[in-house]
Amino acid sequence: MTDPASLPLKDIHLPANISWWPPAPGWWVLFGVALLTLILTLYFYRLRKRRMYSAVNMARQELARIKSRYEASRDAGDCVRSISILLRRLCISVFPRAETAGLTGAEWLAFLDGAFPGKAFSGNAGKTLLEVPYRKHVDKKEVEPLLVFCFDWIEAVAEAKTRP
């Protein structure tokens, strides 16, 4: 027999470490699903934000038209009815429909106060909003503060809804 130390053998070679690149097909699928989820989330977030912003923007324009119509005709009843309709439409567009659509009376005014700093609608402005559409004669001094509160309320809603 021959001496094993004298044989021209080389030491045992281990295979190279497995590289992390390229990943297995399952990782590619997982990466694609995650990327698609991120893209769709951003798309729907922007779409929702744009829809809310456009509703607020349209409400601003409509309130300006209501004010100019009121200044031209001085019909306080029509002005308050239009403001009430506008506030309802804006609330249904911006807030969840189930939360806002069925509100009436004091609950409606409390909801309006929730988005506004202070309790403007629970006071005289809210009373004007609830009672004027059913009165024959309306004092024009009741309408002007309501218009101011509505402009401020729309701005407060716009600011609250655009903050993350």
For the chain, which residues make up each domain, given as ranges? 54-164
Q: How many other CB atoms sit within 10 Å of the CB of residue 56?
A: 20
**pLDDT value of position 68:** 95
d(CA 63, CA 86): 8
Contacts of 33 (CB under 8 A, 6+ apart): none
Q: CA 105 from chain center: how many Å?
A: 25
d(CA 57, CA 16): 63
What Rg, from alpha-carbon coordinates, does the chain have?
33
96: alpha, beta or left? (left if phi > 0; alpha if psi -120 to 50): beta
Look up residue 111 and give its amino acid: F
* Res 37: pLDDT: 98
pTM above 0.85, yes or no: no
Tens digit of pLDDT per residue, the chain (164 long)? 678 778 887 888 888 888 888 899 999 999 999 999 999 999 999 888 777 678 888 999 999 999 999 999 888 888 988 999 999 999 998 888 888 888 888 898 888 888 776 777 777 778 888 887 777 777 778 888 889 889 988 988 888 766 55
Return the closest-CA partner of residue 65 out of 52, 78, 54, 50: 78
pLDDT of 162 reads 62
- The DSSP secondary-structure symbol of 71 reads H
Six-digit token string for 66: 């209501």
* pLDDT of the residue at 161: 67
